[in-house]
Amino acid sequence: MPFLVTIFALLMSLLTWIVLVYVLLSYFLAPYHPLQMALGRVVEPLLAPLRRRIPPIGGIDLSPLALIIILQILRQLVIVLFS
């Protein structure tokens, strides 16, 4: 795998983990906790467009799940196309 594809794949995996941690910590930390706010600065700009298009179902926000799926599809697509 070329170097840039490897870097891109690692960044997509890291971003996926950041989204997952952000969602899990939202259940345990206050919204204004410094860690929650730092992760939010990374994740919220990516979630905002999805939240406008995907309504909550039964009070559950599915936009993080959609973002994780998009990131993984993008990762696999770049690996297949550029490897």
Q: What digits encode the pLDDT tens for the residues 10-44?
A: 999 999 999 999 999 999 999 999 999 999 999 99
**Predicted TM-score (pTM) of this structure:** 0.92
Q: What is the pLDDT of residue 18?
A: 97
Q: What is the pLDDT of residue 50?
A: 97
Q: What percent of the chain has pLDDT over 70?
A: 99
For residue 64, the tally of other CB atoms under 10 A from its CB is 19
Nearest to 66 by CA among 83, 45, 44, 51: 51
For residue 75, the tally of other CB atoms under 10 A from its CB is 19
Domain assignment of residue 51, given as a range: 3-82
Q: What is the pLDDT of residue 77?
A: 96
Identity of the amino acid at 31: P
Q: How many domains does one find in the chain?
A: 1
Whether residue 1 is predicted with pLDDT greater than 70 in this model: the reply is no
